[in-house]
Structure 1
Amino acid sequence: METQSPSPLERASNRILYIVSMNHAVNDGSVYLLSSLFPVVISLFGLSVLQVGILVGLGYLVSVIFQPVVGRYSEGRDPKKVLALGIAIISAAIASFVLATDFLTLLGSALLLRVGSSFFHPVGVSAVSKEYRGARLGHAMGFQSAFGNLGILLVFVSSAPLYFLLGWKATFLAFALIGVVDVAVTLFIFGTSHWNGRHTGGNKGTDHPAKAHQGRLGIPFFFVATTFISGGSYSVILNFMNILLKEQNHLDVFRANVVVSAWIASAFFGAISAGRWSRALRPILLLSFVYFATAASIFAFTFLSASLLLVITSLLVNGFAISATYPLTYTELSRYLGLDATTRGRSFGTIFSAQTVGGSVLGLASGYLSDTFGLPFAFASLGVLALLASGLTLSWERATVPERKKD
Structure 2
Amino acid sequence: MQANTNKTVFGILIAVSMVHLLNDTIQSIVPAIFPIIKESLSLSYSQLGLIAFALNVTASVLQPAVGLYSDRKPQPYLLPLGVVATLIGVIGMAFAFGFWTMLGSAILVGIGSSIFHPESAKVAYLAAGARRGLAQSIFQVGGNAGQALAPIMTALIFVPLVNLELFGLPYWQQSLCLFKSIQQNGIGAI
Q: Which amino acid aligns with 2:35?
A: I
What is the CA distance between 1:241 and its match in structure 2? 4.5
Unaligned runs of 5+ residues in structure 1 are 1-207, 378-407
What residue number does 2:158 align with?
Answer: 370
CA shift digits 1:145-199 (9 cap, x unpaired): xxxxxxxxxxxxxxxxxxxxxxxxxxxxxxxxxxxxxxxxxxxxxxxxxxxxxxx
The 5 Å alignment of 1:378-389 reads none
What residue number does 1:209 align with?
Answer: 5
Q: Which among 307, 311, 323 is matched to residue 102 of structure 2?
A: 311
The answer to whether the 8 A contact 2:93-2:106 is kept is: yes
Q: 1:222 to 1:352 in 2, by over 3 A?
A: same
Q: Which among 242, 263, 268 is matched to residue 34 of structure 2?
A: 242
Q: Which amino acid aligns with 1:230?
A: N
The answer to whether the 8 A contact 2:55-2:106 is kept is: yes
Indicate whether 1:320 and 2:111 are aligned: yes
What is the CA distance between 1:210 and its match in structure 2? 7.0
Q: Which has the higher contact order (CA 8 A, sep 6+)?
A: 2
Secondary structure of the 1:245 match is helix
The 5 Å alignment of 1:218-237 reads 220-237=13-30
Using the alignment, how far apart are the partners of 1:263 and 1:312 within structure 2?
8
Q: Which amino acid aligns with 1:222?
A: A
Write out the 4+ residue segments of structure 1 that deviate beyond 6 Å after TM superposition. none
The answer to whether the 8 A contact 1:246-1:252 is kept is: yes
What residue number does 1:259 align with?
Answer: 51
The answer to whether the 8 A contact 2:125-2:136 is kept is: no
Indicate whether 1:329 and 2:120 are aligned: yes
Using the alignment, how far apart are the partners of 2:128 and 2:45 within structure 1?
44
Using the alignment, how far apart are the partners of 2:124 and 2:13 within structure 1?
9
Indicate whether 1:344 and 2:137 are aligned: no
Using the alignment, how far apart are the partners of 1:212 and 1:351 within structure 2?
13
What residue number does 1:268 align with?
Answer: 60
What residue number does 1:60 align with?
Answer: none
Using the alignment, how far apart are the partners of 1:330 and 1:261 within structure 2?
24
What is the CA distance between 1:323 and its match in structure 2? 2.4
Unaligned runs of 5+ residues in structure 2 are 164-170, 172-190
Secondary structure of the 2:115 match is helix
Q: Which amino acid aligns with 2:10?
A: Q
Q: Which amino acid aligns with 1:224?
A: S
CA shift digits 1:51-74 (9 cap, x unpaired): xxxxxxxxxxxxxxxxxxxxxxxx
Using the alignment, how far apart are the partners of 2:126 and 2:8 within structure 1?
13
Secondary structure of the 1:233 match is helix
Q: Which amino acid aligns with 1:364?
A: I
What is the CA distance between 1:243 and its match in structure 2? 2.3
Q: 1:316 to 1:371 in 2, by over 3 A?
A: closer
The answer to whether the 8 A contact 1:236-1:366 is kept is: yes
What residue number does 2:142 align with?
Answer: 354
Whose Rg is larger? 1
The answer to whether the 8 A contact 1:263-1:319 is kept is: yes
The answer to whether the 8 A contact 1:228-1:356 is kept is: yes
What is the CA distance between 1:270 and its match in structure 2? 2.5
Using the alignment, how far apart are the partners of 2:59 and 2:7 within structure 1?
32
Matched residues, percent identical? 16
What is the CA distance between 1:281 and its match in structure 2? 4.5
Q: 1:210 to 1:324 in 2, by over 3 A?
A: farther
How does the TM-score come out when normalised to structure 1?
0.36
Calculate the aligned-residue CA RMSD, in Å: 2.7
The answer to whether the 8 A contact 1:242-1:257 is kept is: no
CA shift digits 1:115-155 (9 cap, x unpaired): xxxxxxxxxxxxxxxxxxxxxxxxxxxxxxxxxxxxxxxxx
Q: Which amino acid aligns with 1:345?
A: G
Q: Which amino acid aligns with 2:90?
A: I
What is the CA distance between 1:371 and its match in structure 2? 2.5
Q: 1:214 to 1:250 in 2, by over 3 A?
A: same
Q: 1:210 to 1:287 in 2, by over 3 A?
A: farther
What is the CA distance between 1:274 and its match in structure 2? 1.1
The 5 Å alignment of 1:7-406 reads 209=5, 211=7, 213-215=9-11, 220-237=13-30, 239-278=31-70, 279-282=72-75, 284-303=76-95, 305-338=96-129, 340=130, 343-374=131-162
